[in-house]
Structure 1
Amino acid sequence: MEKVIYNLVFNRKKQLNAEGKALIQVEAYLNRQKRYFSTKVYVKPCQWDNKRRSIKNHPNMDALNLYLQNYVMELERDELEKRQANNGFSLKDLREETSSISTSSSFLVFMREEILHSNLKESTLKNHLSTLHVLSLYKKDVLFKDINFNFLCDFEYFLLKQEYHRNTIAKHMKHLKRYINLAINKELFELHKYPFRKYKIKYQESKRTHLTPEELGRLENLKLDGQRTLRRCLDMFLFSCYTGLRFSDIVSITKENFLIIDDKVWLVYSSVKTDVSVRLPLFLLFEGKSLPIYERYKNAPRTLFGVPLSSNSNVNKQLRRISQLASIDKKVSFHTARHTNATLLLYNGANITTVQKLLGHKSVRTTEIYSNIMDMTIVRDLEKIETRLKFG
């Protein structure tokens, strides 16, 4: 039994649109026959890698490549289901949902169109496409008429059975809610049927891993001679411990973000995630420990730490190795650095509103999640009170 061969093809008709872009399609080949499926993704010729059959040099290339992979996977899943249900199979059996279901009736088609035509940033776009993918795994055709309270409960149960973490489920539900709200605004879904009126998104308080001063010291003193990749990864992590930068900001900053003001080095940047402007006096934070790291990398041609470690998952793998070398028995990820920064600042007496500004939080409520993270802070504050009471 021959299997369908799927390939991504770009600009099959050799014609660009008014924006200088062309369509990416999926080519399905079986028994010398071909059929093409539109992914609805348009890119410029310079943004297509024909050898790897993937998007390149695009601000959202990771998210869009993930979407294209998932699109092919959905076709493969449809093929498998059709083969299991019928004795014979041909390319005609593969159904392109957009050919038979319109945006006005299909929530999945509507959601896909909105995501692909949005101005979401890379990490956000990737998360929304992930929600679209798991929703299509749960139910291939989600119509507007299907969406009600029971649908949300059943989808939640499906995700629980797939062993998704409670907060990951909450994230998917939050995205789903966004597009249902958007559908209501566009008069594609009736307000009185709004399912989130009854359904409440459930969150689970998660343990935020941070490093103690002693553990941070172990990383600072770790010798990684001759191990350039690990050294760069550790420097990125330590720089984040001293500055509180998210991974998305660490891989985006360049030497232009470092300003000399009154002979002192400041880091000035806008957060990729929130677009909040942040100004950090590096010479004052953690005794200026970020400055030697900056000096080591300031002549990099593009971003401060370069391109090779731009993958968060890749960096997290390296951090696990580094943690073992430093005998740190914790599940350390890159975001641990940001938690460490906030926790140690608060422990050392920084005002919570100051920490809010340094982290680039829009609301102090976001920063307050760190205020109860270290028992030592509570002990220290109570000891201060006890000392004042004793000695007046």
Structure 2
Amino acid sequence: MQKRKSTFSILFFIKRKKLLKNGDAPVYMRITIDGRFLETSLKRGVNPKTWNEKKQRSTGRDRLSIELNDFLDSTLSRIYKIHRQLIDDGKVLDPKAVMTAFHGKMERPKMLREVFRQENEKYRQLLEIGGVVLGTVLRYERTERYLGDVDDMPFRTIDNEFVRDFFLFLKVEKKAEQNTANKYCKNLKKVIRFALDNGWMDVNPFQGIKFTAKNTTREFLTEKELTTLINKDFCIERLAQVRDIFVFCSLTGLAFSDVAALRPEHITIDDDGNYWIHKARQKTKNMCSIPYLESARVIAEKYREHPSCVAKGVVLPVLSNQKMNSYLAEIADVCGIKKTLTTHIARHSFACLALANGVSMEVIAKMLGHSDIKTTKIYAKVIDRSIAEQMGALASKFGSQK
């Protein structure tokens, strides 16, 4: 297929409704390339009665009209030269590039990683005022670092192939799971959208690309497994501490970032003497209203004088998420739990155990701080699948006998 020829035109015109103080109309120039255009004032004026729109010149015979027409002729010649130079240099060819050169400077193309870093700095500023959570900021910064494994490039050179190669790089080189790779590509897509909105690129490189999410099984602890965890004696202090925090989350439904930021002021007592945790989620800012069970209060009381809690003004001495997950792997092994324990499984366990014990979906959504009950219904599917699997095993034991 023959490549479509680029279109290019220059138009001189006046604005009759924006007259200058002396009554002249300001003269403007419009550059159009492939349907896109930009306008600029030429800092010249003309008597609107002498302007010929068809010829794009003044019909006056006075000295000022002659000088204006000479200026327009030289401007026209200069714009054509700039246009030709951009083509010869293989540079970006659009109205903005031509106009920038006309005003005396060639615009440096916007670079992907440079803009990505600038956007990440904004996320860091939002983090300081609570506009985003740390996990979001770290994921965007990690995306930018992964892009650093390839040379920085102008936005206009990013194409469909680059996006697909980046996704493959995440899967193969970084060993990212399907859904994790999707998140990194989603971060890239947001910056690409920003570039498109600012006119730094014309074609969306994500056009026609669809990243399919992989269905994942949300693991949770059964009552028996959680009881085993609670009753286990640990002689190693760090394991006992991590186990206590995991159990606390299993009894409250708090996510890792929320339990790490839990303070005494988040705990209240109602008129009936019932204890509550009222706290906005770090991730969504949705308010959680959670009954503060006595078993959870006993754990918190155990660490009330812990140096870390006193220094930070928090309820529990929560370690980093990485350390927590590392120690939880040890704990699962010691307790004989054949599941990959992570901090988030505690939240899943809370939701599933609450459902299994007859707590309504609406109440669980309120406790977890979900803004949409559809999110909460995921746990109902987990429960249904677990029941189906167990009944399937039962059916195999008591199948029909011939």
TM-score of the alignment, normalized to the shorter chain, above 0.5? yes
Separation in 2 of the partners of 1:282 and 1:258? 8
Separation in 2 of the partners of 1:342 and 1:104? 50
- Three-state SS of the structure 2 residue aligned to 1:267 is strand
Which among 274, 283, 291 is matched to residue 281 of structure 1?
291
User: In structure 2, what residue type is equivalent to 1:149?
Assistant: N
Which among 279, 285, 295 is matched to residue 301 of structure 2?
295
Q: Is this contact kept in 1: 2:254–2:368, CA < 8 A?
A: yes
The offset of 1:104, in angstroms, is 4.5
Separation in 1 of the partners of 2:144 and 2:389? 46
Q: For residues 194-237 of structure 1, what are the alpha-carbon distances to aligned partners after superposition, in whole Å with 9 as ceiling and x for unaligned? A: 23331112211112221111101100101124x32222111110
Which among 244, 264, 274 is matched to residue 255 of structure 1?
264
- Three-state SS of the structure 2 residue aligned to 1:289 is helix
User: In structure 1, what residue type is equivalent to 2:338?
Assistant: D
Which residue of 2 is the match for residue 350 of structure 1?
359
Q: Is this contact kept in 2: 1:102–1:109, CA < 8 A?
A: no
- Three-state SS of the structure 2 residue aligned to 1:371 is helix
Separation in 1 of the partners of 2:353 and 2:201? 48
- Three-state SS of the structure 1 residue aligned to 2:191 is helix
Return 5+ residue gaps in structure 1 as ranges: 1-100, 382-392
Residue 273 and residue 188 in structure 1: after superposition, are their counterparts in 2 closer, same or farther (change >3 A)? Answer: same
Which among 370, 375, 378 is matched to residue 366 of structure 1?
375
The offset of 1:295, in angstroms, is 2.4
User: In structure 1, what residue type is equivalent to 2:314?
Assistant: T
Which residue of 2 is the match for residue 266 of structure 1?
276
- Three-state SS of the structure 2 residue aligned to 1:339 is helix
Q: Is this contact kept in 2: 1:255–1:298, CA < 8 A?
A: no
User: In structure 1, what residue type is equivalent to 2:371?
Assistant: K
User: In structure 1, what residue type is equivalent to 2:208?
Assistant: K
Residue 264 and residue 164 in structure 1: after superposition, are their counterparts in 2 closer, same or farther (change >3 A)? Answer: same
Separation in 2 of the partners of 1:102 and 1:339? 52
Q: Is this contact kept in 2: 1:267–1:279, CA < 8 A?
A: yes
Instruction: Give the structure with higher Rg (CA).
Output: 2
Alignment length, in residue pairs? Answer: 271
**Identity value in percent:** 28
Taking the TM superposition and a 5 Å limit, the aligned residue runs for 1:145-156 are 145-156=156-167
Which residue of 2 is the match for residue 46 of structure 1?
none
The offset of 1:379, in angstroms, is 9.0
The offset of 1:268, in angstroms, is 1.1
Which residue of 1 is the match for residue 335 of structure 2?
326
1:340 equivalenced with 2:345 (yes/no): no
Q: Is this contact kept in 1: 2:300–2:316, CA < 8 A?
A: no
Q: Is this contact kept in 2: 1:345–1:355, CA < 8 A?
A: yes
- Three-state SS of the structure 2 residue aligned to 1:367 is helix
Q: For residues 274-318 of structure 1, what are the alpha-carbon distances to aligned partners after superposition, in whole Å with 9 as ceiling and x for unaligned? A: 1111111224xxxx4312112223454121113xx4310101111
Which among 320, 325, 331 is matched to residue 311 of structure 1?
320
RMSD: 2.2
Taking the TM superposition and a 5 Å limit, the aligned residue runs for 1:129-278 are 129-137=141-149, 139-162=150-173, 163-190=175-202, 193-225=203-235, 227-262=236-271, 263-278=273-288
Separation in 1 of the partners of 2:389 and 2:324? 35
The offset of 1:380, in angstroms, is 11
Q: Is this contact kept in 1: 2:242–2:328, CA < 8 A?
A: yes
User: In structure 2, what residue type is equivalent to 1:315?
Assistant: M
- Three-state SS of the structure 2 residue aligned to 1:224 is coil
The offset of 1:125, in angstroms, is 0.6
Which among 115, 120, 123 is matched to residue 135 of structure 2?
123
User: In structure 1, what residue type is equivalent to 2:212?
Assistant: K
Residue 304 and residue 170 in structure 1: after superposition, are their counterparts in 2 closer, same or farther (change >3 A)? Answer: same
Taking the TM superposition and a 5 Å limit, the aligned residue runs for 1:34-183 are 104-118=109-123, 119=126, 120-137=132-149, 139-162=150-173, 163-183=175-195
- Three-state SS of the structure 1 residue aligned to 2:194 is helix
Return 5+ residue gaps in structure 2 as ranges: 1-105, 127-131, 392-402
The offset of 1:129, in angstroms, is 0.4
Which residue of 2 is the match for residue 26 of structure 1?
none
Q: Is this contact kept in 2: 1:356–1:364, CA < 8 A?
A: yes
Separation in 2 of the partners of 1:333 and 1:103? 47
The offset of 1:145, in angstroms, is 1.4
Separation in 2 of the partners of 1:316 and 1:261? 35
Separation in 2 of the partners of 1:267 and 1:257? 6
The offset of 1:378, in angstroms, is 5.9
Q: Is this contact kept in 1: 2:220–2:352, CA < 8 A?
A: yes
Q: For residues 75-96 of structure 1, what are the alpha-carbon distances to aligned partners after superposition, in whole Å with 9 as ceiling and x for unaligned? A: xxxxxxxxxxxxxxxxxxxxxx
Q: Is this contact kept in 2: 1:258–1:267, CA < 8 A?
A: yes
The worse-fitting range, judged by mean Cα deviation, of 180-189 and 317-326 is 180-189
